[in-house]
Amino acid sequence: MLIIPAIDLKGGQCVRLKQGLMDEVTVFSDFPGEQAAHWLKLGARRLHVIDLDGAFAGKPKNEKAIKEILEALDGEIPVQLGGGIRDFDTIEHCLDNGISYVIIGTAAVKNPGFLRDACCAFPGRIIVGLDAKDGKIAVDGWSKLTGHDVIDLAKKCEDYGVESIIYTDIGRDGMLSGINFDATLKLARALRIPVIASGGLSGMEDIKKLCEAESEGISGVIAGRAIYEGTLDFEKAQAEAIRMAGTLK
């Protein structure tokens, strides 16, 4: 089970939002590179980076901060990046600069042909982020709800060849109210590709529950506000995930 620290970027700072609302922001660091190095030192095996400004603008906006993160990590662990990645040039630019996986969100919903072609052009490097509320997909930085059903869209993404799905319950994101475990598990059982849980991670009980479902297809979880505010100790959570992996084999 991958426990993946999140770094959300807004105006060059590391922040967290509540329910994706840009005016509900908490700043945790002014130094993205230092924050990335911190998680690397604590044993992170992957980093999740979101350009929040890019998600709303439709194109990357925090390139300086992203460069600082990549320089701090120096290729030691993979980085998955999302936020405003909506064309081939942007994907290529990200991958050439050291990003391991690009996360496509809004474009996967609005332009499925683009997603299919991206999976063909960059096999194994495309993750789709499906952000939902009450089972319906949200787009444009979570500012608009669509009528698309999560599982139906995820199956189409799977057919296109995406590497994995990040499923975020935006009603819980940043709220420390617990992962929407039932919805995440239902999605994982409907797919053959891995699902990464996101939104609302609050403590060790969430970690244990997700680890128990790893064999069902939940391969990781995004850790945001919980590890920044201390309701979840990242090192202890990772140690527990490793312990449970050995126990459940």
List active site positions.
8, 131
Q: How far apart are CA 26 and CA 61, in angstroms?
A: 19
84: left (phi over 0), alpha (psi -120 to 50) or beta: left
Burial readout 64-93 (b: 16 or more C-beta within 10 A, e: otherwise):
ebbebbbebbeeebebbbbbbbbeeebbee
Find the distance separating the first CA and the last CA of the chain, reported in whole Å: 13
Q: How far apart are CA 150 and CA 155, in angstroms?
A: 9
Residue 70, C-beta contacts closer than 8 angstroms, at least 6 positions apart: 79, 97, 98, 99
Amino acid letter for position 198? S
